[in-house]
A and B are shown apart, each in its own frame.
Chain A
């Protein structure tokens, strides 16, 4: 029994021991199970962290850097799809081969040192297009339980957006600085109440003349010379009140190479504010306008000189706008009229004009204003004592580059004395011709009486004493003298507007015929042909019209030294008008002279500067006479071939 008991006891002991061992194992198993569960939980937690992280995470295994694990963010950056696990990194991202990434990985893998980088640019191939990314990242060696490196853990941050924004900001600041520096304007930025120069561009440094090294110094230390020019007060005011200070053509002295230089500037000083609206500095933007300012001063000086000049002149000068309204006048006008400058400009100039000329002046001024023609009139203007004084008034338009009239300058010159002299001269002329007529009358009378007394036949006496032909010659010359005297008188009448027409009705054809008969009588050798295409009565001054025809014919004969033929024609140029033309075959008149011959005292000179008799007023008179009939006078002529003088008058000029 005992042996059996012993055996049982032994067995029981063994059993107990096994039970204990089993219990122990069970406990161990439990604890292992528990720690296993903990581990799994830990792994899950860790994986969750990795998966949910916005960081880019991957585990690379072995020397070929097989992607064991990569989270979604890193797969997105790679852009090579989601099925990359199990593939070598460099196969998935062949583009990084050239970017030195493998070298970093190798370094970590073989030397076991972690590698950290900041803002590392890496280009990723996105569908054939290389896109630049910036990363902060760490490569960390991964170890097994034997402490051997089995792979690399990569954890990275995609900071591309931030880096790009920074780059852009830098670039924009660079551009801004570049703009400031390359600007032709003078630009400086001052900071703080001490006006410390933060930025000053080359242009402003050049003007300051204090070298390149001015940034960081107070403006007033750099430019002590502006302290006495009132600048500190201006800057302080801008800084304290925030009100901008603007100046134009402001003179400022700068000390440059030991010399004070005067320059003129347009500038603006403006307060600079921070994001809270607090004033933190002042910006200076300026333009040097020295040349312009000097030019302006020169123009002003020149203008002042011309103004003085204009005021010094005895002539009356004024300036009007394009509509003729006066805007400036010189002292001479004010002295003459006794008006103030303002009154002179506001009063109507017509009120100063003599009533007799007022309407004509108004019409002529209106005409010139609308056509742009020069004004040139003789007019009586009232002085401060209400005396009307003769003036020669002229005005001419000033035009801009397009030819538009911008203003009118006018000058009036006193010609009272001239007018009086002229009147005296005319009066004298009148007197002279009148006085001369008296002896001429008696010479003519006696010549005619003698001719009448002379018997028809004086026989042989005629040969020894040619009384009759000589008397005839005297008579012709007396007639000529009378004609000259009449012309002289007519001239003075025209000048004094005394040439009045005596209008009567007469037959023009008969009148022309009579005149031609008389002319033929006194010019025996001439051949006067008359072509009458039109027969008419006219209302006109018979004697004056005759005078014009006689003038035309005598001119035609006078200027035809080699021809004695003159052709006259009466025709109807248009309804209610009649024309008389006188054509000769003489020396002719060149084009330049054709426009001159109707002027007073103009005489045509022959080829050899021959002179022809007469005062040269016949055509001038003819022109006046025809104009007073509301007719026209004109000439067609060719040198060496002859001239054709024509006048046309209305059949009834009073209608």
Chain B
């Protein structure tokens, strides 16, 4: 049970992700505005960000990198996702804790999120 922020410009994906994650017991906020990610994190006390690589012309890796450089939110794990191929390394080097390739299995998504949260718990 965690508070998760989904940043994706595709509303359907956002809603689908919200439905799945809420089904598995999380509290989900969906945003289509990547530039407001930091505010969203702070406002909603977010514990994990699910961030798309490409959001209406904005590169998700830039967003991720900015978050990681910002002391206030740098500790929040970011899971990046994309329908593009071969971008997992780029995303990870931008600070993403893991990467999810679209389209994915619901099971994989839930597993990855659970794993990240578990690691966070162990670390803190």
Q: How far is the CB of A61 from chain B (nearest CB, A)?
A: 140
Which of B23, B84, B85, B102 interacts with A441 by CB under 8 Å? B102
When the two chains form their complex, are residues A500 and B86 in contact, meaning their CB atoms are under 8 A apart?
Answer: yes
Shortest B19–chain A CB gap in Å is 6
Within the complex, what minimum Cβ distance (angstroms) separates B111 from chain A? 13
Q: Is the interface of A mostly helix, strand, loop or mixed?
A: helix
Does A268 make an interface contact (CB < 8 A)?
Answer: no
B105 interfacial by beta-carbon distance below 8 Å: yes
Whether B57 sits at the interface, judged by CB under 8 Å, is: no
Select the residue from B16, B17, B107, B109 with max chain A CB neighbours within 10 A. B16
Q: In the bound complex, do residue B107 and residue A445 qualify as a contact, i.e. CB atoms below 8 Å apart?
A: no
Chain B: minimal CB distance from A519 (Å): 16
Instruction: Tell me what chain B mostly uses at the interface: helix, strand, loop, or mixed.
Output: helix
CB proximity to A under 8 Å, residues B96-115 = 102-107, 109
- The one of B15, B85, B103, B109 in contact with A489, judged by C-beta atoms closer than 8 angstroms, is B85
**Chain A: interface size category:** 20 to 34
CB pair B83 A445 closer than 8 Å: no
Query: What is the distance, in angstroms, from B107's C-beta to the closest C-beta of chain A?
Result: 7
Whether A437 contacts B16 by the Cβ 8 Å rule is no
A503 to B36, CA, bound (A): 38
Name which residue of chain B comes closest to A502, CB basis: B86
Asked if A442 contacts B83 (CB within 8 A), the reply is: no
Taking CB atoms, residues of chain A closer than 8 Å to B19 are 445-446, 449
- For the complex formed, measure the closest distance between the CB of A178 and the CB atoms of chain B, giving whole angstroms: 94
A438 touches B83 (CB 8 A): yes
Q: B12 contacts the other chain (Cβ, under 8 Å)?
A: yes
Chain B residues contacting A500 (CB-CB under 8 Å) are: 86
B103 lies within 8 A of A437 (CB)? yes
Q: Mark B1-37, 1 if CB is under 8 A from A, else 0.
A: 0000000001011011101100100000000000000
The residue of chain A having its C-beta at the shortest distance from the C-beta of B22 within the complex is A449
The digit string for A436-464, where 1 denotes a CB below 8 A from any CB of B, is 01111110111011001100000000000
> Provided the pairs A441-B83, A493-B85 are in contact, do residues A452 and B23 lie with their beta carbons within 8 angstroms?
yes
Q: Is the CB of B102 within 8 A of A437?
A: yes
| Closest chain A CB from B98 CB (angstroms) | 16
- Nearest to A449 among chain B residues (CB) is B20
A97 at the interface (CB under 8 A from B): no
Query: How far apart sit A437 and B107, CA to CA, in the bound complex (Å)?
Result: 18
For B104, list chain A residues within 8 Å (CB): 441, 444
Q: Are A438 and B10 in contact (CB under 8 A)?
A: yes
Asked if A441 meets B106 with Cβ closer than 8 Å, knowing A446-B19, A453-B23, the reply is no
Are A440 and B103 within 8 A (Cβ)?
yes
CA distance A445 to B103 in the complex (A): 8
Could you say which residues of chain A place their CB within 8 Å of the CB of B86? Answer: 498, 500
Q: Please give 15 more A-B residue pairs, beta carbons under 8 A apart, in addition to A444-B106, A452-B23, A478-B103.
A: A437-B102, A438-B10, A438-B83, A438-B102, A441-B102, A442-B16, A444-B105, A445-B13, A445-B109, A448-B107, A449-B20, A449-B106, A482-B103, A493-B85, A498-B86
> Would you list 18 pairs from A and B whose C-beta atoms are within 8 A, ordered by A residue?
A434-B83, A438-B10, A438-B13, A438-B102, A439-B12, A440-B103, A441-B13, A441-B83, A441-B103, A444-B104, A444-B105, A448-B20, A449-B16, A452-B23, A478-B103, A482-B103, A493-B85, A498-B86
Task: Give chain B's interface residues, CB within 8 Å of chain A.
Answer: 10, 12-13, 15-17, 19-20, 23, 83-86, 102-107, 109
